[in-house]
Structure 1
């Protein structure tokens, strides 16, 4: 009796003390292999919609979900059908095991395993064969699961690992692949169907075998009816629903963005700021444009909400799967020539620097800067133009004139300070050609900088993920940004505040690189900044492809879509009020300043936006600084004739003259020789005593011909008379400087009309017009 009690006591002691110790020891020796399972990585949109997935090393895609991110009805259907006592048993349901054992023994084969949810998770975590040894292994892993994890954690493991056919695992991935919806949006019928699919995912695939899937779903519904989990009326209604699903489709949106954001992130779910609906619409739009663009041409398209700098759509190539168009190359991060897209920034910075205002007089005339000789896109010249006109028409010579004064290195540094880097050829420094595209930039940087026109001059790097921080830096003043945005939006002419529009629907700028390699359009609407690039990623020229013809139609289509979505969604539309630093003033050409109405020096009146009540005078080109300038003082008598300062009744008069380089484009009455008063023969000015300035070597109106077999014409010209240093201009472009009675040799290679002008230190100007055939 005592021995029996002792044996019983030792047995109990073993069970109570040593068996748990043995379990803990075994758990250390054979730990659960859960950490060895690699979760796939999924890039998702702002609303959680999967955009792109990166499968694990075995090619499996899982979309991790939490218990509260799944439809409650799915949980009800799953537990009712698979494991009603899940929350009450220790991982193993002995009644289910006994029932399964009886069925297996009586039939001579394994019919049912009696597996609980915990046991199924154990098999998923550590697969085993369907033998007695395998079953024991499963029971051991089940015990470990129950020891280490709570019931909810085990249920979450099942939700994320249950097989749904092929490479799809977990209710999250299955819901998105089959239904393109989040698992918390499942209908009752879908919840019942997805509860049973893991039993035979390939045999029950609803997109291939809808009748089999429907029969399996109805079995789940019958079980729910049997245990009165769902009302019988609800189940009857669900059974009337036929199963029909489109072929399953893995997430395949924004692949190049996904490749970009996944680099530095290890999370299984990588959140982005992308608007999934907008992204799909623009991808469809890009595919439609694919057939309209030349072969091997790609497209880059970027949409940013500039209220918070979040990226809403990202299309790095026209078709990711099209190797003939280099679909794998992300043109949003590619370094390309920006064409003319940098011009608005220079005008804004020059405005902040007090060099120009919106209607400042600039010179669209031929010019040479050392070895650099820029031209306009249309190869013509317009003479006197305003800043606003030069920007709207994207004229090249005026903007080069401004950059020559502002400084190429300074301009490059300003952009770099806000994150817009410009690249130059090896061993090359910033130069005047950069403003016309003689540099390289990235679309994401350009779109970021353009957002400054809608953000009071502040620029921040783009935000691709919700966790990205907004880091603002001031590029230009709010006033300069506002003025340039209005000019780009077609509202250059000042109007009263009562007539000023609250928003600019679209302010835009195009760009075309040398050789038609890059076609750009960048626009700013009330809420979004849009970037469009079209071209061949390998840099091959595409004749006739330029910004206005190729990129603008795409940008307009995108803008119309965005504005329609904006008004339909009832999102706030930011206003564009005039900053206090911006006002308007009437200015006069050629001086560029304000003058009284009766002043004869106001040769052309213009209404202009001005900044900080500052009206800078007309910007002179560097080579004009040593000339007599635009303001020449003379002495006149009562008849208005020019006299010497010591003549009777002589009064001083200031006459505003046009820049000498514009002579060829001015009406006859505005030319310098006609603007200056004629000399009084009775008391002439000292200058009148000088010999007249003459040009020898060609006569006005003469037609010159090249010698036979020659492709150019050499023309030697000499001056006579005049005073002091002389400046020579060919068609308004300064070509040489000589001393008194100087000689120059011109080589004319093109046929056409020419004008040669000479200005001397005394202010005399003479010119000769001739033709070359």
Structure 2
């Protein structure tokens, strides 16, 4: 009976004890979790920002916020050899303990007590990581806190992540921290390609960073390295052959400069990704190096002309990734503004926007490639543009006008389409400055009277290479691997041109003769075919040349960041040679084909070569031209008009005076007034309609074009000096059948003159109505205001 009672007492006591222990453990766990929640371990370390290329190659490195070379080591860079070496040396039981090694701690405590001083440590890699995260004095209390923090790390992070954090923080002297920093700055290579000898070297230095200084004490480091390599041999950690090779490997370690390629894009990406230790750009190292070399060499050649800056952007048309980015000729040249990013700088585009304008005109049905446009001196409500070479070509085709960058046809098309249409297309294409300038832009914007950047222009041309759809360019590789290139291509863009219009633009721009091609076809067979356009801003401050094929779009800007103009600066002569060098180097012998013609809506039709319109009654030699089905206008050609004359062809008859017999129907050129005036000014002979029958009494009411007053400008104010009055000029353009015009001032006849004669008058202050009538009774008028200065 007593034994039974005693047994029950023991069972009850054991259960009470178990409950007490359980309660204590629960309270301790709860207390630990509360402290862990209130005082979390801080692992947010400011890392040096690394900008890498598409393949992971480091292009540019920046100091961390606390001015340390503390580069982030990725898990994939911790090779098995590196892992085994560092764990063997620092913490053999790292995989098995929970932040601290009690056996090692007891052994170290015993040795220290027996010797009376600290001869052995028991810090694990986890504890060392805590010490690197939160440096403190070596006291018992801080050691206890270090143990707590180590357990916290083990709870919240995996072993691999703790090892990674440790490798990111270990010191190598001066301001260099982390194994990756030491690997790049002393060996010039990333950790994953380090040899066993180099790995061993980097594992022994953190314990003695001041005495084992790489570059200055390499002999001592080799001795220490070989001692540890022999320990690896005795422990059979690595193969005998690998250790023998490591023992015989010389130590070629010295302080190297940090990578500094693509400085402009690197700074841009760092600003855009302030918290990312590694930003993977889309740049391709070989293409970037080639582009930088070509820009530098070309800059050396044009510096003699007082041209100091260039910028280049290369985009892969298939992925829209920026593969080369050169912001200036020399980033280190502070005298010439080398740190200015020419890719993003706002400059005047010159004529580089004309392809978009012609594409919009194709889509509006106004023109086809062979539509005739007039390249003659024209007054657009007071705006009188001139061509680059100050010469006029008369009547030219649209494709000729675009290929030769003629100004008057472009301004005419912009007037027909409307400035808001072009501005809207550019706004939706991402032109930020044009968006701000929208209310102030006029006809001059097509000749460079607006602000754009090389990045915006290149993106626009990538859109034309992509069938008229503009999408954003990519300069950073997505962080998630589940976003493949095929998914990226599905990003919605903005269609500025139809595929048909984009093809017509490409076809026109690719027909321009390349000045760099040799006469021998065999030498040019492997050169890439490209579509390209140039631009030169007013005052010769900016030279542009942008080209594309199926593979790349390359934008080139050349000029001075200071805005100083140079007489020798032009898109064709200054920027284009660099564009061709880049294409020849980056895309030589490219296997890719050319753009395919859209099969659905783009077709061919017969047109009259004199106007580009559908052949009319007098069109005898039609040619073929592209047209967009259902869009391109269908208009009968009227370049010749029927006129009844006498047999000798000296008099013309209207329907009212045409005789019953003896009249002959003839065809005469139906020239626009501005073309007739151009031919007369250039003394180009053309067949004109004979004078009208003088016996006819009904000349009024005949059809035709009324005189076009070219001077003065309708609605304008003119200021005169009363003390020094000056004459104002009157001028007009008339149809080819006009011989005489009549000028009226405030409805009073002022003077009779020939159609091409300039007439001068002395104005008086006040409103003035000016009228001009031709000898066929057709007239036009305008109103101006004369004011005293």
Looking at structure 1, the residues matched to 187 and 739 of structure 2 have their Cα atoms a distance apart, in angstroms, of 84
Task: Kindly provide the CA deviation profile for residues 458-507 of structure 1, in whole angstroms up to 9, marking residues without a partner as x.
Answer: 111212233478332111111211121122122699xxxxxxx9997221
Match of residue 770 from structure 1: none
User: Is residue 597 of structure 2 the alignment partner of residue 578 of structure 1?
Assistant: yes
Q: 1:138-149, aligned counterparts within 5 Å?
A: 138-149=146-157
List alignment gaps of at least 5 residues for structure 2.
1-5, 479-487, 515-524, 703-723, 763-771, 780-789
Match of residue 335 from structure 2: 324
CA-CA distance at 1:76 after TM superposition: 1.6
CA-CA distance at 1:179 after TM superposition: 4.6
Counterpart among 527, 550, 570 of residue 551 in structure 2: 527
List alignment gaps of at least 5 residues for structure 1.
494-500, 621-628, 691-709, 730-735, 749-757, 766-773
Looking at structure 1, the residues matched to 15 and 631 of structure 2 have their Cα atoms a distance apart, in angstroms, of 102
Task: Kindly provide the CA deviation profile for residues 632-652 of structure 1, in whole angstroms up to 9, marking residues without a partner as x.
Answer: 332367888855545337576
Match of residue 660 from structure 1: 673
User: Is residue 585 of structure 2 the alignment partner of residue 561 of structure 1?
Assistant: yes
How many equivalent pairs are there?
706
Match of residue 623 from structure 1: none
CA-CA distance at 1:414 after TM superposition: 2.0
Question: Would you say the 8 A contact 1:362–1:619 is kept in 2?
Answer: no
Q: 1:205-284, aligned counterparts within 5 Å?
A: 205-245=213-253, 247-265=255-273, 266-284=275-293
Match of residue 124 from structure 1: 132
Match of residue 767 from structure 2: none
Q: 1:328-477, aligned counterparts within 5 Å?
A: 328-421=339-432, 423=434, 429-467=440-478, 470-477=491-498
C-alpha distance 175-608 of structure 1, shift in aligned 2 (>3 A)? farther
Further displaced range: 659-668 or 542-551: 659-668
User: Is residue 625 of structure 2 the alignment partner of residue 612 of structure 1?
Assistant: no
C-alpha distance 590-617 of structure 1, shift in aligned 2 (>3 A)? farther
Query: What SS does the aligned partner of 2:627 have?
Result: strand
Match of residue 769 from structure 1: none
Match of residue 486 from structure 1: 507
C-alpha distance 592-43 of structure 1, shift in aligned 2 (>3 A)? same
Counterpart among 493, 503, 507 of residue 531 in structure 2: 507
CA-CA distance at 1:53 after TM superposition: 4.1
**RMSD of aligned Cα (Å):** 4.7
Match of residue 592 from structure 1: 612
CA-CA distance at 1:27 after TM superposition: 6.7
CA-CA distance at 1:440 after TM superposition: 0.9
Question: Would you say the 8 A contact 2:614–2:636 is kept in 1?
Answer: no
CA-CA distance at 1:342 after TM superposition: 0.6
Question: Would you say the 8 A contact 1:727–1:738 is kept in 2?
Answer: no
Query: What SS does the aligned partner of 1:43 have?
Result: strand
Question: Would you say the 8 A contact 1:424–1:440 is kept in 2?
Answer: no
C-alpha distance 384-763 of structure 1, shift in aligned 2 (>3 A)? farther
TM-score (norm. length: structure 1): 0.78
Task: Kindly provide the CA deviation profile for residues 331-365 of structure 1, in whole angstroms up to 9, marking residues without a partner as x.
Answer: 22222111111111111111111111112222221
Looking at structure 2, the residues matched to 427 and 631 of structure 1 have their Cα atoms a distance apart, in angstroms, of 42
Query: What SS does the aligned partner of 1:159 have?
Result: helix
CA-CA distance at 1:520 after TM superposition: 1.3
Looking at structure 1, the residues matched to 466 and 144 of structure 2 have their Cα atoms a distance apart, in angstroms, of 67
CA-CA distance at 1:457 after TM superposition: 0.9
C-alpha distance 283-389 of structure 1, shift in aligned 2 (>3 A)? same
Further displaced range: 437-446 or 180-189: 180-189
Query: What SS does the aligned partner of 1:198 have?
Result: coil
Counterpart among 321, 341, 351 of residue 310 in structure 1: 321
Task: Kindly provide the CA deviation profile for residues 563-589 of structure 1, in whole angstroms up to 9, marking residues without a partner as x.
Answer: 04x85xxxx836411222334455334
C-alpha distance 573-88 of structure 1, shift in aligned 2 (>3 A)? same
Looking at structure 1, the residues matched to 216 and 343 of structure 2 have their Cα atoms a distance apart, in angstroms, of 39
TM-score (norm. length: structure 2): 0.76
Task: Kindly provide the CA deviation profile for residues 249-294 of structure 1, in whole angstroms up to 9, marking residues without a partner as x.
Answer: 3232333323333445443333332223322333344444444454
Task: Kindly provide the CA deviation profile for residues 360-395 of structure 1, in whole angstroms up to 9, marking residues without a partner as x.
Answer: 222221122223221111222222222222222222
CA-CA distance at 1:452 after TM superposition: 2.0
C-alpha distance 14-375 of structure 1, shift in aligned 2 (>3 A)? same
Query: What SS does the aligned partner of 1:658 have?
Result: coil
Match of residue 50 from structure 2: 42
Match of residue 170 from structure 1: 178
Looking at structure 1, the residues matched to 561 and 256 of structure 2 have their Cα atoms a distance apart, in angstroms, of 33
C-alpha distance 716-304 of structure 1, shift in aligned 2 (>3 A)? closer
Match of residue 703 from structure 1: none
